[in-house]
């Protein structure tokens, strides 16, 4: 039985990955940041909360990292801990750099000192590319791969660029099995409300049920490569099963705009998009990325991984679940995510 340590286990990817690894007969531990209000609703909703070992700590605290590694003695570490909201990074650039950049170095230093044989997966991001797609190619159908220009357009992306290169440097300098998963946008019903896809599906479900009237959004003409998070965690695991550590782009290879997401979501719920959408300049970023679409040729060839869930189906999965949650809330039913006593978190 292998042992895995997941940092950021209470997030979307952490919860799905915990479930995936348990089904692979792993012993799973998770490092989580203690807060005044517990944030275990994702783990509870997937039925894995009582099957994993939770270790309180922080990725920016070396003592926490050392304690977690020595406590569970992992064969594999999946670093998913991050300040992952782009808009927040503009308001909190120092905090973002500490968590997404320096914290990763602390983790690798701990691995190097305690057990260099531990395999490390690091959650990188498509935000590394910024607007490089428009800068260096106008070719129709062009997509970003592992060799494309990296040109971050936010403090979040810049912090992730630092950790991306540090993962590579520790791999080459010290022989650590450390890899970057350059994941393009991946969504699910477990996505946080601060992300535009979940904000849309949650708000539209409430509008459909008469719980709110409108939804305020910023730039709805940005294009993204959206996949299903539940499928993407398999790619993380596959990267650590190979003999040679390498970095991989994980995406669908298709791009769709926020406007398209809205249109299909409104059609699915039979809502009039023009009546409920309000564009608010306050929700626009100081510097935005216009288009992101990934080329997963390498992942197809070396990992044997491909995305399965199509764009429209993903939108419907998220919408149907948010609608079900709010209907259940109205009916007074109790669900695991109500453990924090605040239905508005979802």
Q: In the numeric block, which tokens belong to residue 192?
A: 């946080």
pLDDT (0 to 100) of residue 147: 94
Give helix 12-23 / helix 229-239 axis angle, nearest 10°: 60
The residue annotated as part of the active site, out of 16, 156, 223, 346, is 156
Q: Kindly state the tokens that stand for 282.
A: 């306050």
- What is the rounded distance in angstroms from the CA atom of residue 257 to the CA atom of residue 277? 15
Q: Is 76 helix (H, G, I), strand (E, B) or coil?
A: strand
Is 275 one of the catalytic residues?
no
**What is the C-alpha separation between 321 and 7, in angstroms, rounded?**
26
Measured in degrees and rounded to the nearest 5, phi and psi for residue 168 equal -65, -40
Determine whether 127 is an active site residue: yes
Quickly count: other Cβ atoms within 10 Å of residue 130's Cβ: 23
What local confidence, expressed as pLDDT, does residue 133 receive?
75
Residue with token string 């959206």: 226
Confidence at residue 141, expressed as pLDDT on a 0 to 100 scale: 57
Catalytic residue from among 7, 60, 96, 125:
125
**Given the structure tokens 């050392």, which residue do they identify?**
66
Residue with token string 């594999």: 76
Pairwise CA distance, residues 199 & 344, whole Å: 11
**What is the number of alpha carbons within 13 Å of residue 256 lying toward its C-beta?**
21
Along the 346 residues of the chain, how does pLDDT read in single tens digits? Answer: 999 999 999 999 999 999 999 999 999 999 998 875 668 989 999 999 999 999 999 999 999 999 999 999 999 999 999 988 888 899 999 999 999 999 999 999 999 999 999 999 999 999 999 988 766 555 555 799 999 999 999 999 999 999 999 999 999 999 999 999 999 999 999 998 889 999 999 999 999 999 999 998 888 998 999 999 999 999 999 999 999 999 999 999 999 999 999 999 999 999 999 888 888 766 565 667 888 999 999 999 999 999 999 999 999 999 999 999 999 888 887 654 543 344 444 3
Q: How many contiguous H segments (helices) and E segments (strands) does the chain have?
A: 14, 13
* Whole-structure pTM value: 0.92
Distance of CA 332 to the CA centre of its chain: 31
The pLDDT value recorded for residue 135 is 60
**Which CATH architecture fits 196-223+255-291+309-345?**
Alpha-Beta Complex (3.90)
Q: Is-same-fold flag (3-187+226-250; 196-223+255-291+309-345)?
A: no
**Per-residue model confidence (pLDDT) at position 285:** 59
- Determine which one of 76, 127, 187, 231 is catalytic: 127
CB atoms within 10 A of CB 55: 18
Answer CATH for 3-187+226-250 from 3.30.70.920, 1.10.10.10, 3.40.50.720, 3.40.50.1360: 3.40.50.720
Residue ranges in the chain assigned as alpha helix (H)? 12-23, 41-45, 62-72, 86-91, 93-97, 103-114, 132-136, 155-174, 196-208, 229-239, 258-269, 273-276, 297-298, 311-330
Q: Which pLDDT value is given to residue 339?
A: 37
Beta pairing class for 277-279 and 53-56: unpaired
**Cα–Cα dist 294/223, whole Å:** 12
Q: Where are the domains of the chain?
A: 3-187+226-250, 196-223+255-291+309-345
Contact present, 139 and 77 (Cβ < 8 Å): no
Nearest of 26, 17, 82, 30 to residue 56 by alpha carbon: 30
- Whether 223 is catalytic is no
CA dist., res. 332 & res. 124, Å (int): 40
Tokens coding 157: 């992306």
């Amino acid at each position: 039985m292998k042992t895995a340590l997941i940092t950021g286990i209470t997030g979307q990817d952490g919860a799905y990955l915990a479930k995936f690894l348990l089904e692979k007969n792993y012993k799973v531990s998770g490092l989580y940041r203690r807060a005044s209000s517990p944030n275990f609703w994702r783990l509870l909703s997937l039925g894995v909360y009582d099957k994993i070992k939770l270790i309180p700590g922080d990725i920016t605290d070396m003592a926490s990292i050392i304690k977690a590694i020595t406590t569970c003695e992992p064969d594999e570490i999946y670093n998913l801990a991050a300040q992952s909201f782009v808009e927040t990074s503009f308001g909190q650039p120092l905090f973002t750099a500490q968590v997404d950049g320096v914290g990763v170095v602390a983790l690798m230093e701990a691995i190097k000192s305690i057990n260099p044989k531990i395999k490390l997966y690091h959650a990188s991001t498509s935000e590394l590319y910024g607007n490089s797609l428009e800068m260096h190619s106008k070719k129709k159908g062009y997509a970003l791969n592992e060799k494309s220009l990296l040109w971050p357009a936010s403090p979040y992306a810049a912090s992730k660029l630092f950790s991306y290169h540090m993962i590579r440097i520790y791999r080459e300098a010290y022989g650590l099995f450390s890899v970057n998963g350059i994941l393009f946008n991946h969504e699910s019903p477990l996505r946080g409300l601060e992300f535009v896809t979940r904000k849309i599906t949650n708000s539209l479900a409430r509008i459909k049920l008469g719980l709110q009237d409108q939804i305020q959004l910023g730039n709805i003409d940005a294009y993204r490569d959206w996949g299903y998070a539940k499928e993407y965690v398999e790619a993380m695991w596959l990267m650590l099963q190979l003999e040679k550590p390498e970095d991989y782009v994980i995406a669908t290879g298709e791009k769709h705009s926020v406007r398209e997401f809205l249109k299909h979501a409104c059609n699915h719920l039979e809502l009039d998009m023009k009546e409920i959408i309000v564009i608010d300049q306050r929700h626009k970023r100081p510097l935005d990325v216009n288009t992101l679409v990934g080329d997963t040729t390498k992942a197809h060839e070396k990992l044997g991984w491909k995305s399965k869930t199509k764009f429209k189906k993903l939108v419907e999965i998220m919408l149907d679940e948010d609608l079900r949650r709010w209907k259940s809330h109205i009916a007074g039913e109790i669900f695991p995510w109500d453990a924090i006593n605040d239905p508005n978190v979802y």
